[in-house]
Amino acid sequence: MGRIFKIIGITVAAGLLLLVAGIVALVTLVDPNNYKSRIAEVVQQHTGRTVEFTGDISLSFFPWLGLEVEGMRIGNPESFGGGDFVSLKGAGVHLKLMPLLKREVEVSTITVNGLALNLVRNADGSANWNFAPATVQAPPAEGTPPSAPMDGDGFADSSKAAPLAALLVESVSVTDASVRYTDHTAKTEYSARNLSFTTSAISPGKPVDIALKTDFSSTAPALEANLDLGLTLHIAHDFTRAGVQNMRLALDAKGDTLPGGALSLRQQGNVDCDLMTQICAISDFSLSAYETSVNTSGSLNLAEGPAYTGQMSIAGALRKTMAALGTQVETADPKALENLSVAFGLATSPASIELSGIKGRLDDTDFSGDLRIRQFARPDIKAALNVSALNLNRYLPPEPAAGKTPPPAPAPAPKESQPAQQGIPPETRQALRSLLLDASLAVGSLTVQKVTLTDITVKATAKDGLIRVNPLSASLFDGRVDADMTADLRSATTRSALSYAVKNVQLDPLTTTLAGERRASGTAAAASSLTAEGETWPAIRSTLNGNGSFAVTDGAIYGFQIIPEGARSHLAGTNADRVDEATRRQTFERLSASYVARAGRITNNDLALVSPNLNGEGAGIVDLPRDKIDYKATIRVTGLPPLPVTVTGTLANPRYGFDASAFLQNTLKGVQNLLPIPGLSGGGNGSQDSGTQQANPLEQLGKGLQQMFKK
């Protein structure tokens, strides 16, 4: 038995000696540079491309089987403009021999320097990366051993080969590379320059550090960019898990097609995926661009859509963000739109998106709420938003600087060139019919211009084309406004309804706020219920129906000329103190009216003003389809004849007048009632009692007028 082992040992030693001797002889006696032309010939035979070695080729055999090329190029066919398809300044790879005996592959650093790849697609659709052999290979001679089995792409079928026991690549280093792609069909060109790609050791089941840097440019869209990417890639040995850790991406780009003409993007985060369930855990993921950052952590299910569930937060300076996007925003308050922050739970799927537990802050306004959208093809929206206090004045355009006037508004187009009003487009109507909506809004305080509304409540619903806003409520000027609005799009013609009620609104703060001075006081109430059909103003005004009323009680009017100027001129020097007092401050117990609308014709018959010294009544119509006003009112000042007032014209240009003729008739009626003048008295036949002395008619008329207009 010992003799057998001795013979085997001698045989193995001799074999190894012969192998080493062969390797030494091969390295010493064989120069691979002598085979450049043969290699070029074989490559051209199989690819149809010319090959040129511009540097030396070197081989090493022990302990590493190595190949190094100092320079080479492969040409393009003339149909692609000639030049190089690919070229490189140098490349090298070394493979350990002994581990190959155990089906283990150990590779040292794979280096590629100065790679230049030129990809071209011609206008006819042909591409230079499709290689065609220069000659057709003859079929193998009879009796030739069969080659290794091939797959569908003409490569050796790896499924028939024995699996590798281990694989180790110490590192990969690609430096000073460039890739250019020219597409003559689309007339575009893309290129990556100064490209570098490096890795740490590569081995199944072990994490690999990867770094990629390049400068990128394109012609469509016109773009210049710089990319810097770093990450750690981990793939499980059994390929059941894969993950990216410590991902860091920096992208800086410039181009006219980018918002604001430039982009500076930074991203980082971690992703760990179960390849069996296709569920990925995302942690510490952040993305920042245009002065805004987005952060999220959650679970991404690739098997269901994809679907994402997690937490997300957004923070940024809106003013700076909009400026970076190329939009300059000017507001009355230069500090508005400075800060925005919002956080929420996020759940998405191919058919829905939900934001839950929304909490955020815009400048000094807090808000919270929820949002859910399902069935994007037929949107089903449910939303709720609560706002603490919002001053919209801060976000309005700034007032013109002192001494400057705002630019004049453009002149309206001539009537003949103005297009006819159009209703809701059919596609919009169909979209509204398919909308499902349940949305609510609550605002603690809202300031617009000089008006502050509190306790605002709005709820909007929509289903099958029936859209309703109810309630629409707010408190203002110590009172309350409640409204209910409906738009019914279920039929070919839109039917709308509006009802509202105003209660206990105080006119003193209202007029002082809006007019800047005290104009009126009192408690106002109003109510109305209206319906109409159509979507344009001509259609709505001709179908307006309903009724309404208003009343102001325990009020006063300040600095308002109740008696028209025409009447004042007729009353000059008569009862002047009382008239002046009425124009300075006129108290009243009640001012009320009601109206009825029928087919756009609004009728009022009961306007009433009740006051200790001044009363009034009025009646008339406002014809909306004909754009016509015909209204008459009578003002009664104690001790004066009734003062008739008229309102005529159009809604845009009403005309207010004093009916002097009616005033004279009222005056004569007053005289007739006071004086027993023959021919003027409404009763009697002009005869006098035989025992009464007949007075002078002119004297009686003078006394009567003096009594009417006494000071």
What's the whole-number mean pLDDT along residues 48-73?
A: 83
pLDDT in tens, 543-552: 999 999 999 9
Q: Quick one: pLDDT at residue 517? A: 86
Backbone angles phi, psi at 556, to 5 degrees: -155, 150
Q: Quick one: pLDDT at residue 103? A: 76
Residues paired with residue 455 on neighbouring β-strands, in sequence order: none
Backbone angles phi, psi at 616, to 5 degrees: -160, 160
Q: State the DSSP string of 251-316.
A: EEEE-TTSGGGEEEEEEEEEEEEETTTTEEEEEEEEEEETTEEEEEEEEEEGGGSSEEEEEEEEEE
pLDDT: which is higher, 339 or 101: 339
Is it the case that residue 443 has pLDDT exceeding 80?
yes
- Side chain identity, residue 389: A
pLDDT in tens, 186-201: 999 999 999 999 999 9
Q: Report how far apart the first and last C-alpha atoms of the chain are (Å, whole number).
A: 156
Q: Quick one: pLDDT at residue 279? A: 95
Is it the case that residue 358 has pLDDT exceeding 50?
yes
What's the whole-number mean pLDDT along residues 104-130?
A: 88
Which of the four pLDDT bands, split at 50, 70 and 90, describes residue 148?
Answer: low
pLDDT: which is higher, 105 or 346: 346
Distance from C-alpha of 285 to C-alpha of 292, rounded to nearest angstrom: 14
Which of the four pLDDT bands, split at 50, 70 and 90, describes residue 418?
Answer: low
Backbone angles phi, psi at 543, to 5 degrees: -120, 15
Is it the case that residue 185 has pLDDT exceeding 80?
yes
What's the whole-number mean pLDDT along residues 520-540?
A: 94
Residues paired with residue 586 on neighbouring β-strands, in sequence order: 557
Among 25-29, 489-493, 526-530, 661-665, the range scoring the smallest mean pLDDT is 25-29
Among 251-260, 490-499, 615-624, 656-665, the range scoring the smallest mean pLDDT is 656-665
What's the whole-number mean pLDDT along residues 620-636?
A: 92
What's the whole-number mean pLDDT along residues 24-42?
A: 69
Q: Which residues contact 145 (CB under 8 A, 6 or more apart)?
A: none
What's the whole-number mean pLDDT along residues 273-301?
A: 95
Q: State the DSSP string of 467-531.
A: EEEEEEEEEETTEEEEEEEEEE-SSSS-EEEEEEEEEEEEHHHHHHHHHSS--EEEEEEEEEEEE
Q: Quick one: pLDDT at residue 161? A: 52
What's the mean pLDDT when you consider all of the chain? 82
Among 93-97, 390-394, 628-632, the range scoring the smallest mean pLDDT is 93-97
Which of the four pLDDT bands, split at 50, 70 and 90, describes residue 1?
Answer: very low
Per-domain residue ranges of the chain: 22-130+166-199, 481-564+585-671
Q: Which residues contact 463 (CB under 8 A, 6 or more apart)?
A: 435, 436, 437
Which of the four pLDDT bands, split at 50, 70 and 90, describes residue 142?
Answer: low
Q: Which residues contact 48 (CB under 8 A, 6 or more apart)?
A: 77, 131, 132, 133, 134
Distance from C-alpha of 36 to C-alpha of 42, rounded to nearest angstrom: 10
Q: Quick one: pLDDT at residue 162? A: 54
Q: How many CB atoms lie within 10 A of CB 112?
A: 19
What's the whole-number mean pLDDT along residues 241-261?
A: 94
pLDDT in tens, 658-691: 765 665 665 556 555 544 544 444 444 444 444 4
Which of the four pLDDT bands, split at 50, 70 and 90, describes residue 81?
Answer: confident
Q: How many CB atoms lie within 10 A of CB 163?
A: 7
Alpha-carbon 324 to chain mean position: 16
pLDDT in tens, 380-408: 999 999 999 999 999 999 887 655 666 66
Q: Quick one: pLDDT at residue 195? A: 96
Q: Quick one: pLDDT at residue 573? A: 54
pLDDT in tens, 542-582: 999 999 999 999 998 887 555 555 555 555 555 544 555 54
Q: Quick one: pLDDT at residue 584? A: 64
Q: Quick one: pLDDT at residue 178? A: 95
Share of the chain above pLDDT 90, in %: 50
